[in-house]
Amino acid sequence: PLKKNQGISQLNIRTKTNTMRKVLALYCLLLFQAMPLGAQETETYYLKDEDFRLSPHDSLLIAEMNKKDTIPVWEFGIAGGHVFSIGNVDYLPGVGVGVHFRRALDYIFSVRSDIFYARIRGEDEGNAREFRNDWFSASLLGVMTLNNLKWEDKTRKVNLYALGGIGVNYFETKVRENDLPTRTITGKMAWHGTFGGGISFRIGRRFNVGFEHKVISGFGQRGDLVDGFETITANTHRRTFADIIHYSNVHVNFNISRSAEEEEPKYWLNPLFDVYQELDSIKQVLKQLNDSDGDGVVDLIDREPESPAGAYVDTKGVTRDGDLDGIPDFRDRQPYSPPGVPIDAYGVAKEETETERANVRAIVQEEIAKIEFPQPPPPVIETKTSNWYLPNVYFDAGSIELKPIDHATLLKVAEVMLENPDEKFVVEGNTDLAGSEKANNRLSYKRALAVVNKLVSLGVPREQLLLRWNGEHKTLVEGLHEVNRRVEIRRAKEGETEMPPPE
């Protein structure tokens, strides 16, 4: 600090407060201007089974409607470190602190907004001149990742980058020269340029730390007044260069997102990650469509995936045993043994040498003829709601937004409901296994609510709909498959009620 016995007074508290308000207001303005510059977006086309039954033109239309915009992930950073200026007065060590928000535009480029405060000091040898500067600034920076064109890993452990941009500053400088009274360079807004570079180290999916060095140079006459003294020539009295501020800092950064399913900022990811992810999804689907035991039933629905070679199986892939004697049909020498009769190791009844199919039919028909069946009840006239199918609505990962094609589907569903005003219908939300159980409960509820709101907007009375949710507990297939991210619509069962929202 400046020496009190040499006439240096402290900065007025009210002045500091007003200064901070101005800089914060300006920083917010710059931050809002940065928002529309770009989004961390990817366009992914999902092909569904029905695409293969449509014309090429219709397939392209469905793919166009299934574009997915990834919600951007923001980085919030806190920094602190050493600051000094190079100008007309020798520098003394100073302290600077700051915060920033960073948003990826793609895998290489991102945009960042900074707010920065520093106490900059200097003193010539012999104490002939000294100054103290309270610096406030807000900057909008472009950031370029320098080491992201590598393909071996999904994520980067190190992020090396360069940055540059412009901003506005506000500072006041207290100056003392020899034994003259202290003078003050009053605060005023001015422009400056910033450039630098840094390196960050990935600690986890949500957290990283790093080191950065920035250089700040003011524009115009105030750029040479950081230390309170202008650099002039003897003849022209013209300024020859500006004071340069150097800021070396350690920063701690946090990735902020709205969903557990969202990825990291793209400057941490392999540019081919999306391709690898799609290939893995295709591999999982193809694996489920294999028939590893060759019984004619794909592994996805095969309840006996290792059926013996040559075995007769049912529609679920289970080895058949027609007479339930414990000997599978493909090994049973007497596939229709009489019930309750002892058999040998080959499935042949010990009391009868052979039972022909014709004899079995005769016995069965004789026994059926002895049964007195009751008279059938009068025929029931089925209503149009006694046997129907209502389609499901599917969602992208982490999304509660209806796809364009679903609006037409729900219009038809609404017509069915309006034709049956005395019936109640269940709208039941589900998710895949990505994310925590608590987050999936909320996500399944919001998906069901989106469908309910759409049906109500189409004229269906709200009291006709029962909203229910299952979270991740009713997945149909393994893996992060779209069929698990669904909302089912069905006729309500007797006594079924609406569920309250999850906690």
Buried b (16+ CB within 10 A) or exposed e, 266-277: bbbbbeebbeee
Q: What is the pLDDT of residues 455-483, one digit of tens each?
A: 999 999 999 999 999 999 888 888 888 88
What pLDDT, on a 0 to 100 scale, did the predictor assign at position 376?
A: 54
Structural contact between residues 398 and 434, judged by C-beta atoms closer than 8 angstroms: yes
Provide the pairing of β-strand 486-491 with 425-429: antiparallel
pLDDT-based confidence at 58, cuts 50/70/90? very low
Query: Sign of torsion, CA 223 114 110 247?
Result: positive
Mean pLDDT throughout 322-342?
76
- Within this chain, domains 4-37+71-273 and 393-491 share the same CATH topology: no
Whether pLDDT at 176 is above 80 = yes
Q: How far is CA 164 from the centre of its chain?
A: 29
Three-class DSSP category at 145: strand
Domain definitions of the chain by residue range: 4-37+71-273, 393-491
Nearest alpha carbon to residue 438 among 262, 263, 260, 264? 260
Q: What's the confidence (pLDDT) of residue 2?
A: 41
pLDDT value of residue 21: 55
> What one-character DSSP code corresponds to residue 416?
H
Per-chain mean pLDDT for the chain? 78
Lowest mean pLDDT segment, chosen from 165-179, 315-329, 422-436 = 315-329
What class, spelled out in words, does domain 4-37+71-273 have in CATH? mainly beta
CATH architecture of 393-491: 2-Layer Sandwich (3.30)
In the numeric block, the tokens 């006239």 are attached to: 381
* Torsion from C-alpha of 51, 53, 59, 65, nearest 10 degrees: -50
- From the list 132, 101, 136, the residue with the least C-alpha distance to 118 is 136
pLDDT-derived band at 152 (thresholds 50, 70, 90) equals: low
pLDDT category at 151 given cuts 50, 70, 90 is: low
pLDDT at 80: 96
- What single-letter amino acid sits at 499? M
Q: What is the pLDDT of residue 444?
A: 92
Binned at pLDDT 50, 70 and 90, residue 154 comes out as confident
- What confidence score (pLDDT) does residue 503 get? 83
**342-366 burial: b if 16+ Cβ within 10 Å, else e:** ebeeebbbeeeeebeeeeeeeeeee
**Mean pLDDT of the region 56-68:** 47
pLDDT band at 51 (very low <50, low <70, confident <90, very high): very low
pLDDT exceeds cutoff 70 at 47: no
Compute the average pLDDT of residues 252-264. 78
**Can you give the pLDDT at residue 52?**
42
Residue 288 phi/psi, 5-degree rounding, is -70, -20
pLDDT digits (tens, 9 = 90+) for 387-418: 567 889 999 988 999 988 888 889 999 999 99
Q: Does the pLDDT at position 495 exceed 50? A: yes
Enclosing H/E stretch for 64: helix 56-65
Confidence of residue 37 (pLDDT cuts 50, 70, 90): very low
* Cα–Cα distance for residue pair 372/370, rounded to 1 Å: 7
- Predicted model pTM: 0.45
Confidence band for 246, pLDDT divided at 50, 70 and 90? very high
